[in-house]
Amino acid sequence: MTGAGYTWDFSFLWAYRSLILTGLEVTIAYTIGTIVLGLVVGLVTGLLRLSRNPIITAPLVAYVEIFRCTPLLVQIVWFYYALPVVIGVDIPAHVAATLVLSLYTGAFYAEIIRGGVNSIERGQWDAARAIGMRRGQVMRHVILPQAVKRMIPPFMNQSIIQLKNTSLVSTIAVADLLYEGTIITAATYRPLEVYTMVAIIYFIVLFPLTIAAQQVERRLARAD
């Protein structure tokens, strides 16, 4: 196949529209589901990481760094193929995919939350404690309201990346958009059109979200 001799033809894709739509639904479901679960994991991890007790923080540091410093693709493959051997229980693909994606993005969220809280000036703690607030009250009424504002932009960026990250679950046969693309390719032998279409769909979903994220960021900056 030479570059000049190839005739592009996207028309056959129409026949696969329901498959593509199902794939997109799965991709969006994994994105939203793992963002929510990841946020729970990240919130708990990020706030507990602020503890001064190393018995609490050491395992959390280990978790965050292991997930941040290994490739997501390797994590997915390892949880699906290696973990069942270690624990002696089979893990279905959708469970492994959800688990890894949530833990992976949760590690990043944890750092965003910890960083946001730590970015608030020491003087805010001093002033709040000086009028008699207890630790939890300082956190709830003084630190978090300010920190959340600073966490929103990195949180949105990480969540946008998460939608793209879900494409890696296709490697363990979870039927997301990319996986449906490989199915269509296998049936039609037209990978160029199929992967072009897949790329365009990701772009159509993500581009408006990045614009929205920029606008939120600008509005937050103005409100300061």
Return residues touching another protein (CB under 8 A).
121, 123-124, 126-135, 137, 141-142, 145-146, 149, 224
CA distance 108 to 110: 5
To another protein, the closest distance from the beta carbon of 122 in angstroms equals: 9
User: Nearer Cβ to another protein, position 124 or 171?
Assistant: 124
- The total of other beta-carbon atoms located within 10 Å of residue 143's CB is 22
Shortest spacing between CB 157 and another protein, in angstroms: 23
**Residue 43 burial (C-beta neighbours within 10 Å; 0-12, 13-18, 19+):** middle
Considering the complex, what minimum distance in angstroms separates the CB of residue 154 from another protein? Answer: 19
Which of 47, 97, 42, 52 minimizes the C-alpha distance to 72? 97
The nearest distance, CB 48 to another protein, in angstroms, is 17
Nearest Cα neighbor of 216 from 147, 144, 155 is: 155
| For another protein, the closer CB: 5 or 123 | 123
Residues 6+ apart with CB under 8 A from 180: 16, 19, 20, 22, 23
**Nearer Cβ to another protein (50/206):** 50
Q: Please say which residue, 110 or 128, places its beta carbon nearer to another protein.
A: 128
Nearer to another protein, 124 or 185 (CB): 124
Residue 53 C-beta: closest distance to another protein, Å: 14
Largest CA distance in the chain: 77
